[in-house]
Amino acid sequence: MSNAADFELLLREALTPVDPPADMPERIETTLVNLTEMAADELEAWELSAMRDPRNWARPAAAVVVGTTAGAALVLLRARQRRRSRSPGVIDAAEQALKDVYGEARKLLPKR
């Protein structure tokens, strides 16, 4: 019976919740910004004439996927950070979340 108790104690200690580091949101945001910028740089360096050969499609396609994913994650992360700073009702929260996502997306899109 003591083996079961020891095992239970070990499991309880191993599965104790751990708080993430305080600077984790900033590190994630920095990483997402860097990924988005690197993908944009890759696409800027891409030559349209080289696209005739399908072997050259992998890098631009990967840059589009990475840039889009990182940009969308960045928009959601920033909108979520703003939402946490306020605590309105459900309808107001949904409306504000949509405004935040729209605002962050406009910041990331190139100026036209």
Integer Cα distance of 103 and 100 in angstroms? 5
| pTM (two decimals) | 0.60
pLDDT category of residue 19 using cuts at 50, 70 and 90: confident
pLDDT for residue 27: 92
Give percent above pLDDT 90 in the chain. Answer: 12
Contacts of 81 (CB under 8 A, 6+ apart): 25
pLDDT in tens, 34-52: 999 999 888 888 877 777 8
